[in-house]
Amino acid sequence: MSAAMNVQDIPSLKIRPEDNVSVILRPGGLGAGAALDEGIILREDVPFGHKVALEDIPAGGAIIRYGVTIGIADQALPRGSWVNEHRLHLPPAPALADLPPPAPQPAAGPPLEGCTFEGYRNADGSVGTRNLLAISTSVQCVAGVVDQLVRRVEAELLPRYPNVDGVVALNHAYGCGVAINAPDAVIPIRTLQNLALNPNFGGEVMVVSLGCEKLRPEWLLPEGDGNATMLALQDPALTGFAAMTDALMEQAEEHLERLNRRRRETCPASDLVVGVQCGGSDAFSGVTANPVIGAAADLIVRAGGSIMFSEVTEVRDAVHLLSPRCADDEVWQALAREMAWYDAYLERGGADRSANTTPGNKAGGLSGIVEKSLGSVAKSGSSPLVDVIAPGERLRRKGLTFAATPAGDFVCGTLQLASGMNLHIFSTGRGTPYNLSVAPTLKVATNSDLARRWHDLMDFDAGRVVTEGATIEALGMELFRLILDSASGRTATAADRLGISNDLVLFNPAPVT
Amino acid sequence: MSAAMNVQDIPSLKIRPEDNVSVILRPGGLGAGAALDEGIILREDVPFGHKVALEDIPAGGAIIRYGVTIGIADQALPRGSWVNEHRLHLPPAPALADLPPPAPQPAAGPPLEGCTFEGYRNADGSVGTRNLLAISTSVQCVAGVVDQLVRRVEAELLPRYPNVDGVVALNHAYGCGVAINAPDAVIPIRTLQNLALNPNFGGEVMVVSLGCEKLRPEWLLPEGDGNATMLALQDPALTGFAAMTDALMEQAEEHLERLNRRRRETCPASDLVVGVQCGGSDAFSGVTANPVIGAAADLIVRAGGSIMFSEVTEVRDAVHLLSPRCADDEVWQALAREMAWYDAYLERGGADRSANTTPGNKAGGLSGIVEKSLGSVAKSGSSPLVDVIAPGERLRRKGLTFAATPAGDFVCGTLQLASGMNLHIFSTGRGTPYNLSVAPTLKVATNSDLARRWHDLMDFDAGRVVTEGATIEALGMELFRLILDSASGRTATAADRLGISNDLVLFNPAPVT
């Protein structure tokens, strides 16, 4: 993956003809006096990934990248100036009242036939990419007991059930803290309900509860599921800790016996449910990794599969570019509704979408949330938007869905799992060891420098768009093939090989008591 | 601890002369037609722990327990009726504008001299009850790496540093999700800052960061601490995962070498910082466990030590009983201020303090938050309230402090650890395997039935007040001795013997992006 830097002679990159800034491509940046292709001489040092003014931008003038105003200059920025977050302010977010309506979109391409992967087919028609025993919890009080149970299952039971890939605890921080009747508490509750139904758990629902919690454990049981089990530690029949864990081990074994009988079978790529996300973004996210992910997303949609993209605060400023892609008025209204809900949620807390960008984003050349958003939505590819779902809702349609979630990495990943994700694609420019244990998580580097330094933590180098002149389309196809391989269990992800993964994090916009 | 039920002949308990309800003590409850001591005949079956009307209460009449109105009858409740949450509504919370002012309080007793425990004295004057290596994290992205680091430290390093009790990861769900500039984000930030300073970590601060996060890792470093270490996984000098973990193992070893040189020494009980909390409460919480904890708290205050009690929503309805105990006007105002902050926080989320009570509380006989609060504040004992601190602030004074926190168990425990707690007391009636690994956590059962069933999960049976007629004072002294033993590392807690503990949970009232 450590590609040779053979296109370092391109000093900077302009995306659209109407842009008045370009981004420095030269590793290490360029010094004052250096000349760009456009005949522009840098007036000062400009770091790698940062922007240069291609024309004289007056104070109050628009700074245009991706053909869109990403900021308003706070000072005059003569040709060759460094354009950074200290020299501009954000334009207002697009008004939700007059978003462009749905408009006919060119198809992303003809249907893609014959693409398959090896998956675990479930009774409800969904397909797992892993064969895991999940242990749901209704309250954090039981987490210590469940953690110990997981260790015992791994040591004592799993060796006897070799077709089961592992056991995961769906621990979380809620159950009694959450104000269960507050309007927004519906979000963590349905997230927990739907998490247990993730296709990678084979329809086996095992719930461990305490007994006195506000989040009633029976809410976590699918209706009429004769195989589901539930145990309350406060059950008066359980005397002492050994009785609790023995009863839980017995229940776990029931589930493992059924899971162990499952085998992978050839499934069409239309059974893929891929969630895309980015974290630790830089100025290349929107040029390399996210467009490559978008190209792979288009291939999955053409193969009849499902793509979820998310992260409301990274879509908010690009929503006027998405709204014409809505398949119908209902989707268009749902898109505006989710944006409005989030605007209000942030406002209640004294924040707005500008709270999204990180110091790392800015050091990486992103001057604000508008620029970040324009790069972020590239992950969605070019397919029509067939649905918009609220945080933690289950996916309803094949094709491209906007699953409204916060942009915080683990909150977003957890919500996508609850929506039914069976494979996860994550792009990063600054680098993160992010991993979920529930579904294969492929990490795509936006630049080859990161792919080289983090050679054992990254799965895919999209920086080759810059360093090797690879096309978005070619890398999109390569990523698509890696997705099919990973979904089939043929290729372990980088983080899985290293044995690192992160806990799930529930999104709870309700207060705690 | 499994005490014989030798006072089962007391059918019900009335707390104060002015009460018009009593609580059924007979295990299994009492049936219609049964007679109480007061000559009252039950009109219907009443479960164990539930309330009976001792006189005819008209619709709209006050239901009085602990001498306080805990509810307003929704229907006429003739003598002998079952008084439960479906037959009453809550009175309004005490108005904060006219709380009773500070008033001279009788002393809890003369100073208690000569009580000591064996602790680890720190350079800042605080004393640890454990000798732990803590690994702070600035963002959840690094948690998977830190979890693996903990396993390596345990396996490869700890055997060579036998005086170190263990290694704990201060993982959490924030860093980038949190809207870092939102007004309320100060709470999770200072909680993380202060957690690293907990006395049980010996002043050794080790921070693992990613590099691009909004919560800057340097905020977690105490100023001018030459021993603190910080490592960013994105450090360009680190190539690959092995380089990261090797560098972290090296830093861990630096800290372990210093921690390993520490030895326990005899310290006065005035160095104890005990946080008290309850969870899974029942109608006995306010009769047995919490008054026993209050008696132990008074002994600690008399010995010059520090007590924190918390849980705003369980204090709100009893705040008029606490305000006269404030040491001065400043404390009195701070108490009202913290209550008002929480009222507003809940209101923003469409909830109020009534969201606190759980189905388990109600099944256990608690008819609402007023009754629960009156039982809850008993944990504070009778000492004057010398200070009120906001969530996650460090303790400033010895004596009794109200540390304002949510009542959610792990959120409260985490905030008390951030405030400097070196020992934790937790009362429960329904039962919870709650445990924190940072400080010894003693669990006090409110009833002997729980203590018997959960014999290996409970540390102390306060139900003996009922089952053996033990006095609050005697059990308070017994608990005080157990505290000194546990703080000295002589007695392992029940949950520690079983090897179960829960993760920390940050309180984040700010929105996430």
Per-residue pLDDT of chain B (513 residues; tens, 9 = 90+): 333 334 446 788 888 999 999 999 888 899 999 998 888 999 999 998 999 999 999 999 999 999 999 999 999 999 999 999 999 999 999 999 989 999 988 877 899 999 999 999 999 999 999 999 999 999 999 999 999 999 999 999 999 999 999 999 999 887 677 888 899 999 999 999 999 999 999 999 999 999 999 888 999 998 888 899 999 999 999 999 999 999 999 999 999 999 999 999 999 999 999 999 999 998 899 999 999 999 999 999 999 999 999 999 999 999 999 999 999 999 999 999 999 999 999 999 999 888 888 888 889 899 899 999 999 999 999 999 999 999 999 999 999 999 999 999 999 999 999 999 999 999 999 999 999 999 999 999 999 999 999 999 999 999 999 999 999 999 999 999 999 999 999 999 999 999 999 999 999 999 998
By CB neighbour count within 10 A (0-12 exposed, 13-18 middle, 19+ buried), where does B509 fall?
buried
Longest dimension (CA), chain A: 82
Give me the phi and psi of B486, to 5 degrees please: -70, -40
CB contact residues (below 8 A), chain A span 161-180, against chain B: 171, 173-174, 176-180
Query: Which chain A residues are within 8 Å of B239, Cβ to Cβ?
Result: 453, 455
Residue A249 has pLDDT above 90, yes or no: yes
Q: Yes or no: say if A260 and A162 are a contact pair by the CB < 8 Å rule.
A: yes
What was the pLDDT predicted at A9?
Answer: 61
Give residue-wise pLDDT tens across range A303-362: 999 999 999 999 999 999 999 999 999 999 999 999 999 999 999 999 988 888 888 888
Q: Closest partner residue to B234 among A181, A431, A455, by Cβ?
A: A431
Q: How many CB atoms lie within 10 A of CB B55?
A: 15
Burial of A215-229, coded b for 16+ CB within 10 Å and e otherwise, reads bebeebbeeeeeebb
Give the separation between CA B115 and CA B268, rounded to whole angstroms: 6
Query: Which chain A residues are within 8 Å of B180, Cβ to Cβ?
Result: 355
Count, residues in chain A: 513
pLDDT band at A198 (very low <50, low <70, confident <90, very high): very high
Mean pLDDT across chain A: 94
What was the pLDDT predicted at A161?
Answer: 98
Q: Closest partner residue to A408 among B363, B499, B513, by Cβ?
A: B513
Burial of A2-25, coded b for 16+ CB within 10 Å and e otherwise, reads ebebeeeeebbbbbeeebbbbbbb
Question: In the structure encoding, which two tokens stand for residue A358, read together?
Answer: 């990180």
By CB neighbour count within 10 A (0-12 exposed, 13-18 middle, 19+ buried), where does B442 fall?
buried
Give the separation between CA A41 and CA B461, rounded to whole angstroms: 80
CB contact residues (below 8 A), chain A span 25-84, against chain B: none
DSSP B414-456: HHHHHHT-SEEEEEESS------SSS-EEEEESSHHHHHHTTT
What was the ipTM of the complex prediction? 0.93
Containing A385, the helix (H) or strand (E) segment is: strand A385-389
Contacts of B22 (CB under 8 A, 6+ apart): B12, B13, B14, B36, B38, B51, B52, B54
**Inter-chain residue contact A348 with B350, CB threshold 8 Å:** no
What was the pLDDT predicted at B9?
Answer: 61
Per DSSP, what are the bridge partners of residue A459?
none
Q: How many CB atoms lie within 10 A of CB A103?
A: 9
CA distances from A163 to A132, A157, A262, A402 (A): 9, 12, 7, 34
What was the pLDDT predicted at B7?
Answer: 47
Q: Yes or no: say if B3 and B449 are a contact pair by the CB < 8 Å rule.
A: no
Residue with tokens 């570019």: A321
Residue with tokens 């008819």: B367
How close is the nearest chain A Cα to the Cα of B443, in Å?
13
**Inter-chain residue contact A234 with B353, CB threshold 8 Å:** no
What was the pLDDT predicted at B6?
Answer: 41
Per DSSP, what are the bridge partners of residue B72?
B62, B89
pLDDT band at A386 (very low <50, low <70, confident <90, very high): very high
Alpha helix (H) residue ranges in B159-240: 186-195
How close is the nearest chain A Cα to the Cα of B455, in Å?
6
Q: How many CB atoms lie within 10 A of CB A408?
A: 27
Question: In the structure encoding, which two tokens stand for residue B511, read together?
Answer: 């929105």
Give the separation between CA A190 and CA A203, rounded to whole angstroms: 17
**Inter-chain residue contact B173 with A411, CB threshold 8 Å:** yes
What was the pLDDT predicted at A177?
Answer: 76
Query: Which chain A residues are within 8 Å of B497, Cβ to Cβ?
Result: none
Q: Which residue of A has its CA nearest to B501?
A: A144
Give the separation between CA A447 and CA A452, rounded to whole angstroms: 9
How close is the nearest chain B Cα to the Cα of A270, in Å?
31
Give the residue-averaged pLDDT of A193-209. 97
**Inter-chain residue contact A407 with B279, CB threshold 8 Å:** no
What are the strands, taking DSSP E only, across A288-361?
Answer: 306-309
Give residue-wise pLDDT tens across range A262-316: 999 999 999 999 999 999 998 899 999 999 999 999 999 999 999 999 999 999 9
**Inter-chain residue contact B432 with A348, CB threshold 8 Å:** no
pLDDT band at A498 (very low <50, low <70, confident <90, very high): very high
- Among A347, A432, A438, A456, the residue to mutate for chain B (most B Cβ within 10 A): A432
Amino acid letter, residue A167: V
Q: Which of A242, A246, A299, A311 is nearest to A274 (CA)?
A: A299
